[in-house]
Amino acid sequence: MRDSYREELDDIRACLVEMANSVGSQVSLATTALLDADVTVADRVIAGDAPLDATRESIEQRCFNLIARQAPVATDLRAIITAMRIASDLERMGDLAEHIAKVARMRFPDSAVPQEVRPVFLEAGHVAETLVTKAGTVIAKRDVEAALELEDDDDAMDKLHRQLFREVLSDVWPHGVETAIDITLLGRYYERFADHAVSVARRVVFLVTGERRVTTAP
């Protein structure tokens, strides 16, 4: 009984890691669609969101069944509820990648991103991919150290976000209000993507250590 329980929980964890990998591909492709104004890639991202929703639903159902069948308590119960929440974070990250792809699609054949801010979005895409890859590692290995690194990457994303606003608000911004709106929303999507990655890491840290907050080493 307990063995099959462990197996099922390990398998759910493997599904979460796979889900994190898919979300990483989605945000990477979405950034490509955005920077290259590539509508085919944008469509691929948009089509790739439904499978993520289905995975989330399947993970939730399996967690639910596990609780109903095994009546776990304490850490075991917490592990299952954490898995449900992580699935929910990852699904939301997938939605945000889709939002990015939709902005790229909406402006096609033009690019939503003017030359001046391309490097910022290129970097935001890299940071987003790194964040979700590390989140996958944190889930797979319950790695508290990797969770700490993730907070630093999130700081990097916040810096990029501020840099974006500086560019758009500079006196020489020649691209008008529509582009400013696109960039504001895109910046927000990447920022929220990073927030959810941090949330995944914090949930794992809480599960492992019982501490609610991640604090950086002294």
What stretch of H or E contains 81? Answer: helix 74-107
Q: How far is the CB of 138 from its own copies (least distance, A)?
A: 20
Total length of the chain: 218
**Shorter beta-carbon distance to its own copies: residue 108 or 173:** 173
Q: How far is the CB of 28 from its own copies (least distance, A)?
A: 24
For residue 92, what are the contacts with CB-CB under 8 A and spacing of at least 6?
Answer: 192, 196
Q: Which is nearer to its own copies, 29 or 87 (CB)?
A: 87
Omega before 109 cis (within 30°)?
yes
Closest distance between its own copies and the C-beta of residue 59, in Å? Answer: 13
Other Cβ atoms closer than 10 A to 95: 18
Return d(Cα 86, Cα 88) in angstroms, integer. Answer: 5
Least separation in angstroms between CB 96 and its own copies: 12
Binding interface with its own copies (CB under 8 A):
64, 67-68, 71-74, 77-78, 81, 84, 165, 168-169, 173, 177-178, 180-181, 184-185, 188
What is the token pair recorded at 58?
């399947």
Integer Cα distance of 75 and 15 in angstroms: 20
Cβ closest to its own copies, residue 155 vs residue 178: 178
* Residue with Cβ nearer its own copies (149 or 206): 206
Q: Considering the complex, what minimum distance in angstroms separates the CB of residue 169 from its own copies?
A: 6
Nearest to its own copies of 13, 188 (CB atom): 188
Q: What is the DSSP letter of 48?
A: T
In 43-90 the beta strands, taken as DSSP E runs, fall at none
> What are the DSSP E strand ranges found in the chain?
none
